[in-house]
Structure 1
Amino acid sequence: MKSFKKLFTSKPKTHNPESSFKIGGMASLKVLDVIPSPEDDSHKLKKAFQGFGTDEDVIIEILGHRDANQRKKIRETYHQLYNETLIDALKSELSGDFGKAVILWTYDPSERDARLANEALKSKKKGIKHLEIIVEMSCASSPQHVVAVRQAYCTLFDHSIEEDIVASLPPPLRKILVGLVTSYRYDKEVVDTDVANLEADRLHEAIKTKDLAHDDVVFILSTRNFYQLRTTFACYKKKHGNPIDKDIEKSGKGDLESLVRMVILCIDSPEKHFAEVVGTSIIGLGTDEDSLTRAIISRAEIDMMKVKSEYLNIYKSSLDDAVTGDTSGDYRNFLVTLLGGKI
C-alpha cells in the first residue's frame, strides 16, 4: 500500500467552488410570510404568561413559527421590555416534556447544544447513547456551528467541552470525541479519489486489527470534509465488499465500535441517523422523550423533510403519524408544529 504520508500532502483532484456544504433547504419549520415585530411577539408572550393559567397555544403559535434569528430577536426584545429573560419566564410557566421542548427550541442553537452536551457528559448513564449529541454537533453540523458550540460551552460552564470529555470518558472514547469537537473541517466540495482509496484501506486495516482509536482513524474521521469522507466510505464498500459500518459492527459490540459507527452514520447520512433516533425513541415500550425532542428540534430548521423521507424508507410509516400517535397534549402539538403539521 502507498505511504500514509500521501494522505497529508495530496492535492485535491476536484473542486466545485459553487457547491458548499449547506445546512438547510429541507426544513420542516413553517415561518409566516409576514412576521410580527419582536415587540408584538414579546407582548403576546407576556400576556400568555399572565392571568389564570398559561396560554400554551399562543406560545406554540409564536415560537413554533419563528426561525433561530427571529427567536433571538424575541429573546432580546423580551428582556429589554420586561427586565427578565424569556427563558426564565418559560421555565416558571411551563413544565414536563412540553416545557423542556419549548425551552430548548428557544435557546440559541449553539447554546442549546452546549447545554445538552454538558448534560450528557455529566450523565452517569452507561453505554454511549447519551453521547449522541456530541457526535451530532460535530458530524451533522457546519464547522461554524461546532465553533459556536465550543464558545458557548466555555461561556456557560467556565471551562471547555474538551476538558469535560477528557474528565468524563475512558481514553479511546475521549480520543475520538476530542478529535471531532476540535476539528474545523473545510466546508466546500473537495474530493480526492486517490486519498479516498488510500484511507478506505487504512480504515479497513484498523477494523481488521481492532484498532479503531488509532491516530490515523481519528485524523481521517475528524479532519476530512464530509464530501471526502462519503467518497471514502463508498470506496470502502466497493473495495472491501461491505459497508464500513457493517464491518465495524461485525468486529465488535463495545462502546468504541458503537461510537465509531455512530460517527460514520452521522457523516454519511445525517437524515438516516436522525430517522433512527426518532424511531428508536418511539418504537417499543415507552417513549424516550428527550431523544425525540432533540432530534426534531435539531433538524426542524435544517433537513427534517429528508429525515421524514428516510424514516418512511426505514420504518414504512409516517414520522408525523408516529409522533402524533406516541405523544399527547401540548407536547404533541408543539412537535407537530415544528414538523410543519397543523394542530
Structure 2
Amino acid sequence: MQGLFRRLSSSSEHKLRSLNETVSFSKNHGMATLRVPELVPSPAQDSERLKQAFDGLGTDENEVIWILGHRNASQRRKIKDTYQQLYNESLISRLDSELSGDFGKAVLLWAYDPHERDAKLANDALRKHKRGVKHLKVIVEIACTTSPHHLIAVRQAYCSLYESSLEEDIASTVSAPLMKLLLGLVSSYRFDEEVVDLAIANSEASTLHEGIEKKLLDHDLIVWILSTRNIFQLRETFKCYKQKYGNPIDQDIKSCGNGDLESLLKTVTVCIESPEKHFAEVIRDSIVGLGTDEDSLSRAIVTRAEVDTMKIREHYTNLYKASLDDDVKGDTSGDYKNFLLTLLGARF
C-alpha cells in the first residue's frame, strides 16, 4: 500500500400556437429535451410579452412558461438584458415577485445563467449541508458532470455573488475528510478531450482498489486520481476496475461502510461514469416515499434540460421500469407540473 501511495502521479394547458412557433429539439444538444421554436421571436418581442403577462389582471403563468420554457440559455440571457433596457427593471426580480411556490423557484432557477445558477446551488448546499450529506452531493454534481470551463465560470460567479471563493467556503464550513474531497473536485481543471492511457487506467484501478480494500478512502492519491484525471480516463479506469475485481467501483465503495465519506465518494464515481444514471436516481428519490423533494426534482430537470434529459429518461425507464414523464406528472400539479414537463419536452 505504501509503495503505491508514495507516488502522487480530480397551468393549465398551453395555448395553441401558430405554425411558425412549431417547436423542435434544441440543436445544440442532441440529448436535451428543451424544445426551441424554429423561428424564435426577438428578445424585444419576448420581453414585451412577458411584461404583458405580468401587468394584466393576475399573472399569466402560461405565457411565462411558454416563453421561458422554450428558450435556451443564450436566448434567456438576451431576454433578461433586453427586458432590463426596455423597462428599467430586472426580469429576475419581477419573476420573483410575480411567481410563488415551487413553480416560482423552478422558473427562477431556469432564468439564471447556468454558471450563476450552479454558484447559487453550491452556496445553498453549503448552508444546508449539516442537515445531511445529500446537500454536498450537489457540489459533486457541479464538479463532476459539467465541463472544466463551466466549473471555472461557476467559481468566478461564486466570488462575485458571495465575496468569497467556493474553496474558502467549503474549507470553513465542511469538516475533513469531506472537505478534502470537495476541495480537490472544485479546484481541479481536468483535461477536456477524449484521451485515454490504458496502462495508467490499469495501474490506477489497482491503486483505487487497494485504497478501498484498506478503507483509506480519503488518501491523497485517491482524491488526486478522482479529481484531476479527465473523465474519459476515469471511465476507462473504472472499466478496468470491474474487469480486475469483479464489482463496479461504486459497489465496493458502498461495502466500505455507510458513512458520509462513502456516500459522497460513491456519488463522485457515479457522476463521472454515468451522469444520466445519477440524475435518474435523484429524480426517483425525490418522487418516491412520503411527499416530494421538489428542490431536488427541480434541480435535476432544470440543470439537465439543455444537456442530457433524453438519456436520463432512458436510464430512468431501464432502472425503474416506469416513465419519467408519467412519474413527474403524477407527483406534481398545476403550473409547477406544466413547467417541468415543458422542460422535458412533453407535448400536452
TM-score by length of 2: 0.92
Q: 2:61 aligns with which of 56, 60, 64?
A: 56
Tell me the CA shift for residue 194 of structure 1.
Answer: 0.6
**1:200 aligns to 2:228 (yes or no):** no
**1:128 aligns to 2:133 (yes or no):** yes
What is the distance in 1 between the residues matched to 2:110 and 2:237? Answer: 35
Deviates more, 1:162-171 or 1:94-103: 162-171
Q: 1:264 aligns with which of 269, 275, 299?
A: 269
Which whole-Å deviations, capped at 9, do the CAs of 1:284-329 have from their partners, x for residues lacking one?
Answer: 1110000000000011000000000000000101100000000000
Asked if structure 2 preserves the Cα contact closer than 8 Å seen for 1:39 and 1:77, the reply is yes
SS at match of 2:216: coil
Q: Which residue of 2 aligns with 1:83?
A: 88
Asked if structure 1 preserves the Cα contact closer than 8 Å seen for 2:129 and 2:135, the reply is no
Gap change, CA 1:243 and 1:124, over 3 Å in 2: closer
Q: Which residue of 1 aligns with 2:278?
A: 273
Gap change, CA 1:178 and 1:7, over 3 Å in 2: closer
Q: Which residue of 1 aligns with 2:116?
A: 111
Q: Which residue of 1 aligns with 2:239?
A: 234
Q: 1:212 aligns with which of 208, 212, 217?
A: 217
What is the distance in 1 between the residues matched to 2:157 and 2:4? Answer: 40
Q: Which residue of 1 aligns with 2:50?
A: 45
**1:325 aligns to 2:308 (yes or no):** no
Q: 2:174 aligns with which of 169, 176, 181?
A: 169
What is the distance in 1 between the residues matched to 2:257 and 2:276? Answer: 25
SS at match of 1:31: strand
Q: Which residue of 2 aligns with 1:12?
A: none
Q: Which residue of 2 aligns with 1:95?
A: 100
Asked if structure 1 preserves the Cα contact closer than 8 Å seen for 2:8 and 2:221, the reply is no
Asked if structure 2 preserves the Cα contact closer than 8 Å seen for 1:7 and 1:199, the reply is no
Number of positions where the alignment pairs a residue of Structure 1 with one of Structure 2: 329
Which whole-Å deviations, capped at 9, do the CAs of 1:210-231 have from their partners, x for residues lacking one?
Answer: 1111110111000000110000
Q: Which residue of 2 aligns with 1:285?
A: 290
Aligned identity (percent) is 62
Asked if structure 2 preserves the Cα contact closer than 8 Å seen for 1:296 and 1:304, the reply is yes
Tell me the CA shift for residue 126 of structure 1.
Answer: 2.9
What is the distance in 2 between the residues matched to 1:209 and 1:126? Answer: 29
Q: Which residue of 1 aligns with 2:346?
A: 341
Q: Which residue of 1 aligns with 2:71?
A: 66
Tell me the CA shift for residue 71 of structure 1.
Answer: 0.2
What is the distance in 2 between the residues matched to 1:24 and 1:136? Answer: 19
Specify every segment of 5 or more residues in structure 1 that has no aligned partner in the other structure, as ranges.
9-22
What is the distance in 2 between the residues matched to 1:324 and 1:46? Answer: 29
**1:26 aligns to 2:31 (yes or no):** yes
Which whole-Å deviations, capped at 9, do the CAs of 1:118-142 have from their partners, x for residues lacking one?
Answer: 0110115433101122111100001
Query: What letter is aligned with 2:137?
Result: E
Query: What letter is aligned with 2:298?
Result: T
Tell me the CA shift for residue 73 of structure 1.
Answer: 0.2
Q: Which residue of 2 aligns with 1:15?
A: none
What is the distance in 1 between the residues matched to 2:167 and 2:327? Answer: 36
Asked if structure 1 preserves the Cα contact closer than 8 Å seen for 2:8 and 2:224, the reply is no
What is the distance in 2 between the residues matched to 1:122 and 1:325? Answer: 31
What is the distance in 1 between the residues matched to 2:132 and 2:306? Answer: 29
Asked if structure 1 preserves the Cα contact closer than 8 Å seen for 2:4 and 2:207, the reply is no
Tell me the CA shift for residue 5 of structure 1.
Answer: 8.0
Q: Which residue of 1 aligns with 2:24?
A: none
Which whole-Å deviations, capped at 9, do the CAs of 1:7-50 have from their partners, x for residues lacking one?
Answer: 73xxxxxxxxxxxxxx9320000000000000000000001000
Asked if structure 2 preserves the Cα contact closer than 8 Å seen for 1:114 and 1:149, the reply is yes
Deviates more, 1:286-295 or 1:123-132: 123-132
Q: Which residue of 1 aligns with 2:13?
A: none
Gap change, CA 1:3 and 1:217, over 3 Å in 2: closer
Gap change, CA 1:24 and 1:220, over 3 Å in 2: farther
